[in-house]
Chains A and B, each alone.
Chain A
Amino acid sequence: MIELKKFSYWYPGTEQPALDRVSLSIAEGEFIGIVGANGAGKSTLCYALSGFVPHFYNGETEGQHTFNGQDMASLDLGQLAGQVGLVFQNPFNQISGARFTVREEIAFGLENLGLPQSEMRARIDEALELVNIQDLAERSPFSVSGGQQQRIAIASILAMQPRVLVLDEPTSQLDPDGTRDMFTALNKLVSTRKITVILAEHKLEWLATFCDRVIALGGGKLRAEGSPQAVLSSEQMLRLGVGRTQYSEAAARLLRTKQLPVTLEQAKKALK
């Protein structure tokens, strides 16, 4: 569905590429996690996978970058916007401020899709429920807490029902249960609607529990790719500044095994 072949990208006026010959192929219906230290290129990869690079960011690119077999740069923006949604790292950048209530804020993005009123209402209700903020619908999107604001930002993208959903650290300000619920909800969208979810995160436990595949970046390069357990249990994660789950760290001190556990279930099994 989305393919990068030796793809490099330079932000305007920079000499070091933010993405350096990345080759990557993402199929429909995959749930993919991206890990990497700060500055490794996670956000830039999110922009590339959602088409924000090259459509909204200038700069130089090299290599191949396709969406459903078509060159990403040649795609019509309107078409792309209906299919791909990006949740930015900082929710404060996402809230338009053009409307008075949370419900209207979410409706704002939907207005260009030409949906009937009833469909719009249904989508907004569903999105509010997915991130569990039904009770904020009539509040102002600015007079809420940080975590609530992040939920609003996510809901406004969910309501667009994109086929590909790219999220850059969407749970950074969510409470622990909210984080787990968000992953569960995304996982459900992947399995029931066959959408593709790509998510950059530091919360390794939840990536490990829910993703089909994990991609590790370092210095703009793709450093590892594979099953969550294979990638996240490896020592390479320490060198990349990604770290490991505490399950892996505890097990590393107690067990000699080929592959360390990375989730609660795996750790329980290994240490029973």
Chain B
Amino acid sequence: MNLRVEGVSFRYPSGVLALDGIDLAIPSGQLLAILGENGAGKTTLVKLFNGLLRPSQGKVYIGDWDSAEHTTAALARRVGFLFQNPDDQLFERTLAREVGYGPRNLGASEAEVKRRVARALKLVGLHDMAEAHPYDLPQPQRKLLALAATIAMDTPILVLDEPTIGQDEVGRGAISRILTDLHRMGRTLIMISHDMDFCAEHAQRMLVMLNGKIHVEGTTEDVMGQTKKLDEAEVAPPQLVRLAQALKMPGTPLTVDDFVDEYKQWRKKKKSK
């Protein structure tokens, strides 16, 4: 399902103008990363997608719906949402109930709820703890639990606000696999992250925000190579891109595999000169 933002501005009641004239089209099935410095407006922008916030000006379309004409509950059928702070979305007594809450609310049968809960908990590696209390889990695990709850909604669009915060290699690996799976299933994925290495590896396109505006947008390779633009937005390229630049090697390697290939070619060329 696609998503469109037309001429959107947003001002918090306190007076802060957090979004300032945003136009954006995200095609169905895309994996988009939103980057930008703290306070750039990333979270505010995505909260418009499921109606947690409503634009002060402009329109947000979710597929063929004008979001202004739909309640937050209705929008939740189309847009799944992982909060930056997982504690904003956890309120049940057990992990299983937490993950089952959304599907149950959407009217899924008990058998269906059970199936979705088992699958989602398995995906994030928490299936052994289905009967534990969410607050018995440390923060990074609560984030994974919240992710499971988001997945269980089975929405065509998913918004993940900083999914890899506080995750170790195992957690990052699980999130990486989940993203890859959902992408393969044709879901539209919007991920906010400061984890440049992770974004470089997974995102198809990137959007960098600065002061409530879109600062740069393009394919991952294109955006990651724009050192000056990134610098203006307080965003540094990922490690491998910085290493390639430090070595004065051409190209924008996004993964270790890419880097190794490009490095070998570059050395060969240098030698033959």
Which residues of A are in contact with B by a Cβ distance under 8 Å? Answer: 36-39, 43, 89-90, 92, 139-140, 143-148, 151, 169, 172-180, 202, 205, 238, 241-243, 245-247, 249-250, 253-254, 264, 267-268, 271-272
Contacts and interface: CB of A to CB of B under 8 A. Distances in A.
Indicate the size class of the contact surface on chain B.
35 or more
B256 interface: yes
A146 B162 contact: yes
Contacts of B53: none
Contact of B167 (A38, A179, A268): A38
A151 B170 contact: no
Contact of B260 (A90, A140, A173, A254): A254
18 contacts: A38-B138, A39-B138, A89-B139, A90-B85, A140-B14, A146-B38, A147-B39, A173-B165, A174-B38, A175-B194, A175-B234, A178-B37, A246-B197, A246-B243, A253-B260, A254-B263, A254-B264, A264-B246
A148 B38 contact: yes
A264 B84 CA distance: 29
Nearest to A43: B138
Contacts of B264: 254
B242 A264 contact: yes
B169 A241 contact: yes
Q: Which of B87, B196, B242 is packed against the most chain A CB atoms within 10 Å?
A: B242
Contacts of A145: 38-39, 42-43
Interface string B33-51: 0001111101100000000
A38 B236 contact: no
A242 B168 contact: yes
A89 B165 CA distance: 11
A255 B34 CA distance: 35
Interface in B231-260: 234-236, 238-240, 242-243, 246-247, 256, 259-260
A238 B259 CA distance: 20
B145 to A, nearest CB: 13
Nearest to A175: B37
